[in-house]
């Protein structure tokens, strides 16, 4: 992969991230941007829970999906956008802790399709638990979604 | 499957739904509860968008995951709760419209594991577009999550 | 979808099927070709088993993958070929019986990507058991695989 | 995970592998058994191809599924058997080469459910290409499959 990201690419990803209403509404923070790898963080809040008080699988998935999408976007040419075409997540352990951290990593960067691995950890102080692992296929689009 | 649901079972599902912070925070409404099949509705709001203004894949997934989970719960014995063990969603069309409707249907009801099919449509007036289809495995738990 | 298939399209699919060494080696038969829907059949043989004597999940998957691929191919333009980009299968019941029947159906036909639902039944005389359901993404290629 | 495998556990896995008709029929070889990690190898043969002459996705999947299943079995107690409950594979590159090597690794070992990551490489002399990555959920059973 490319060795470093330009400030321009980082700004492009941060702009896209700020344009996502859902990320702001859930309270997701950008934690790290590297070539082909992005980490997002989601602090716990009662607005994010399922019926037992854990993070809802939907919150875990929204976080993981965005981490993978931005990992792919670090490799896309200027003027291209990213859409998820499919997503699969295995929930390994109950998602409880101070925050969730999701890292997306590009496994295969293609001209049309990019495949990412995503992993989510629950962090409580210094303890980290692996709560989810998944795979995601993303498509590189110019402007609107292709048919 | 069982022919009808008792008012007690319906109340149990509505109680669980109201206990999910994320469903309330996103604005999800319970649209229909039938044996082995539940439909949830999510009206559009800018808080739910990705960078192009469509519903975020994370919102689509959270909705679909909950619809499948509650479809499974309609068949579970009293005192049991439901957890998603894995989830896969194919995003078929851009998720834009007045609201999303997700229906979860039980495909296989097992003692330990239940498999649901989930489908999400975007609704704009009378127009309906199929925006996502998925499969989900759920586990029946007594109290806390099993290891 | 298109209302009927031309004899030319049916011949094109049968030629492709006969060119697959694995289908012949496993003993798979073409059972039905319709627009956007193909059914394949696999008679039981001890060469197809896992350690308990059921059909091996790998045989079930090979059958399901091909059924979905040919369902997609019925809709592709002349000169195009089909490759699976990803595949997900839930195994619902033990795969035992006289034969397996897999049907692939196109859920979304796109210019680049096509999504199929696949279902596998085990058939024993008149009894049919639903042994697997899955989702598959296929890509339309001209000649060799794209990068 | 456990630091080493006993000769008894290795023999148990080799016995199970030899009992799989499909593995013998395809020509799969056991390459390495370690705690929570198993590698299988499949030499190229025209009986394993799809219509373009690559390894068929069904062969890739059968190999990957078995590698993950045996990785899980290394951790199961005596008298227990393993069944795949669901499987997802992303096909990253055309599967062409002298042989395929699939490695399954346990990501989460639970009492009921075990999750494995599986990776398949195509090997041609010293060249290795990453042709598939996947996730798999397995269930530990005593005797026949549970409902």
Which residues of chain C have a CB within 8 Å of the CB of B107? Answer: 90, 92, 130, 133
Pairing of strands A37-43, B37-43: unpaired
Helix (H, G, I), strand (E, B) or coil at B123: strand
With a cut of 60, say whether residue A38 has pLDDT above it.
Answer: yes
Chain CA centroid to CA A129, Å: 18
Which residues of chain A have a CB within 8 Å of the CB of B50? Answer: 20-22
Region B48-61 average pLDDT: 95
Region D1-5 average pLDDT: 69
* Burial class of residue D43, CB neighbours in 10 A (0-12, 13-18, 19+): middle
Region A105-127 average pLDDT: 97
What is the helix (H) or strand (E) element at residue C104, kind and residue range?
strand C99-109
Question: pLDDT class for C147, splitting at 50, 70, 90?
Answer: very low
- The 3-state secondary structure of chain A reads CCCCCCHHHHHHHHHHHHCCHHHHHHCCEEEEEECCEEEEEEECCHHHECCCCCECHHHHHHHHHHHHHHHHHCCCCCCEEEEEEEEEEEECCCCCCCEEEEEEEEEEECCCEEEEEEEEEEEECCEEEEEEEEEEEEEEEECCCCC
- Give percent of chain C above pLDDT 90: 91
Q: Is D90 in CB contact (< 8 Å) with chain A?
A: yes
Mean pLDDT of chain C: 93
With a cut of 60, say whether residue A124 has pLDDT above it.
Answer: yes
* Lateral strand order in the sheet of D37-43: C29-34, C37-43, C99-109, C113-124, C127-142, C80-91, D80-91, D127-142, D113-124, D99-109, D37-43, D29-34
Helix (H, G, I), strand (E, B) or coil at C131: strand
With a cut of 70, say whether residue C145 has pLDDT above it.
Answer: no
In this structure, are residues B97 and B123 in contact, taking their beta carbons and an 8 Å threshold?
Answer: yes
- The pLDDT of residue B138: 97
Chain CA centroid to CA C72, Å: 10
With a cut of 90, say whether residue B121 has pLDDT above it.
Answer: yes
Mean pLDDT of chain A: 93
Question: pLDDT class for B123, splitting at 50, 70, 90?
Answer: very high
CA distance A125 to C110: 47
Nearest to C146 among A86, A112, A146 (CB): A112
CB contact under 8 A, B49 and A22: yes
In this structure, are residues A104 and A80 in contact, taking their beta carbons and an 8 Å threshold?
Answer: no
- The pLDDT of residue D147: 46
Query: Any idea which of B63-67, B136-140, D142-146 has the lowest mean pLDDT?
Result: D142-146
CA distance B17 to B26: 13
CA distance C133 to C116: 11
Nearest to B92 among C92, C107, C133 (CB): C107
With a cut of 80, say whether residue C119 has pLDDT above it.
Answer: yes
Q: Is D112 in CB contact (< 8 Å) with chain A?
A: no
With a cut of 90, say whether residue D31 has pLDDT above it.
Answer: yes
ipTM of the complex: 0.92
With a cut of 50, say whether residue D145 has pLDDT above it.
Answer: no
CB contact under 8 A, B61 and A87: yes
Which domains, and CATH codes, for chain C? Answer: 7-142 (3.10.129.10)
Helix (H, G, I), strand (E, B) or coil at C37: strand
CB contact under 8 A, A139 and C113: yes
CA dihedral D66, D72, D75, D80 (to 10 degrees): -80
Sequence length of chain B is 147
Closest-CA distance of chain A to residue B4, Å: 24
With a cut of 60, say whether residue B145 has pLDDT above it.
Answer: no
With a cut of 80, say whether residue C86 has pLDDT above it.
Answer: yes
- The pLDDT of residue B4: 86
Region D29-51 average pLDDT: 97
Q: Is B146 in CB contact (< 8 Å) with chain D?
A: yes
Region C40-66 average pLDDT: 96
CB contact under 8 A, C25 and D19: no
With a cut of 50, say whether residue A146 has pLDDT above it.
Answer: no
In this structure, are residues C120 and C62 in contact, taking their beta carbons and an 8 Å threshold?
Answer: no
- The pLDDT of residue B143: 62
In this structure, are residues C56 and C109 in contact, taking their beta carbons and an 8 Å threshold?
Answer: no
Q: Is A86 in CB contact (< 8 Å) with chain D?
A: no
CB contact under 8 A, D146 and B111: yes
Q: Can you tell me which residue has the tokens 């350690």?
A: C51
Q: Is D57 in CB contact (< 8 Å) with chain A?
A: no
CA distance B58 to B70: 18
**Which chains, if any, share at least 3 CB pairs under 8 A with chain A?**
B, C, D
Question: pLDDT class for A145, splitting at 50, 70, 90?
Answer: very low
The residue of chain C nearest to residue B89, with distances taken between CA atoms, is: C135
Closest-CA distance of chain B to residue C126, Å: 21
Q: Is A58 in CB contact (< 8 Å) with chain B?
A: yes
CA distance B12 to B80: 11
With a cut of 60, say whether residue C146 has pLDDT above it.
Answer: no
Q: What is the DSSP letter of B77?
A: P
Helix (H, G, I), strand (E, B) or coil at B35: coil
- The pLDDT of residue A3: 64
pLDDT in tens, A48-105: 999 999 999 999 999 999 999 999 999 999 889 999 999 999 999 999 999 999 999 9
Query: Is the Cα torsion angle B53, B59, B64, B67 positive or negative in sign?
Result: negative
Region C105-121 average pLDDT: 97
- Give percent of chain A above pLDDT 70: 95
- Read off the tokens for C147: 């990068």
CB contact under 8 A, D87 and C88: yes
- The pLDDT of residue B35: 96
With a cut of 80, say whether residue A31 has pLDDT above it.
Answer: yes
Chain CA centroid to CA A74, Å: 12
With a cut of 80, say whether residue B45 has pLDDT above it.
Answer: yes
In this structure, are residues D59 and C22 in contact, taking their beta carbons and an 8 Å threshold?
Answer: yes
- Which residues are CB-contacts of D119 (< 8 A; sequence separation ≥ 6)? D64, D102, D103, D130, D132, D133, D134
pLDDT in tens, B78-107: 889 999 999 999 999 999 999 999 999 999
- The pLDDT of residue A147: 46
Query: Is the Cα torsion angle B57, B61, B64, B66 positive or negative in sign?
Result: negative
**Which chains, if any, share at least 3 CB pairs under 8 A with chain D?**
A, B, C
CA distance D101 to A31: 36
Q: Is D96 in CB contact (< 8 Å) with chain C?
A: no
What DSSP string runs through chain D? --SS--HHHHHHHHHHHHT-HHHHHHT-EEEEEETTEEEEEEE--GGGB-TTSSBPHHHHHHHHHHHHHHHHHTTSPTTEEEEEEEEEEEE-S---SSEEEEEEEEEEE-SSEEEEEEEEEEEETTEEEEEEEEEEEEEEEESSPP-
- Give percent of chain C above pLDDT 70: 95
CA distance C62 to C70: 12
């Amino acid at each position: 992969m490319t060795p470093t990201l330009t400030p321009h690419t980082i700004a492009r990803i941060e702009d896209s991230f700020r344009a996502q209403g859902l990320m702001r509404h859930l309270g997701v923070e950008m934690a790290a941007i590297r070539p082909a790898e992005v980490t997002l963080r989601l602090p716990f809040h009662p607005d994010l829970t399922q019926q037992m008080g854990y993070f809802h699988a939907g919150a875990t998935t929204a976080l993981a999906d965005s981490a993978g999408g931005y990992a792919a976007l670090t490799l896309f040419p200027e003027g291209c956008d990213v859409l998820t075409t499919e997503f699969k997540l295995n929930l390994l352990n109950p998602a409880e802790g101070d925050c969730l951290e999701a890292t997306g990593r590009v496994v295969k960067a293609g001209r049309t399709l990019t495949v990412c691995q995503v992993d989510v950890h629950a962090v409580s102080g210094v303890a980290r638990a692996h709560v989810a692992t998944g795979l995601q296929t993303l498509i590189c689009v110019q402007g609107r979604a292709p048919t």
